[in-house]
């Protein structure tokens, strides 16, 4: 049987450096508990502002994995 089925979950990664690092953090953390990741989709970028003027880059990411 060659059909494949995938499930997607949503995670939010954060970084004090960049959106790219926030995406990398989201995918890396998801891969710690979800095995067989196949792809990811960036759904949204946003940021948080600290009282000291710091910026927290945030990325909402859907990661997909194959269902056995």
Q: Go through the domains of the chain in sequence order and give each one's CATH number.
A: 6-66 (3.30.1660.10)
pTM for the whole structure: 0.88
- DSSP-derived letter for residue 16 is S
The whole-angstrom separation of Cα 2 and Cα 39 is 19
Encode pLDDT of 7-59 as tens digits. Answer: 999 999 999 999 999 999 999 999 999 999 999 999 999 999 999 999 999 99
What residue spans of 6-59 are helical by DSSP H?
A: 19-33
């Amino acid at each position: 049987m060659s059909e494949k089925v995938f499930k997607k979950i949503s995670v939010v990664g954060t970084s004090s450096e960049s959106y790219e690092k926030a995406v990398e953090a989201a995918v890396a953390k998801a891969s710690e508990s979800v095995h067989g990741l196949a792809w990811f989709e960036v759904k949204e970028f946003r940021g948080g502002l600290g009282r000291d003027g710091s910026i927290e880059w945030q990325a909402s990411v859907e990661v997909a994995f194959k269902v056995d």
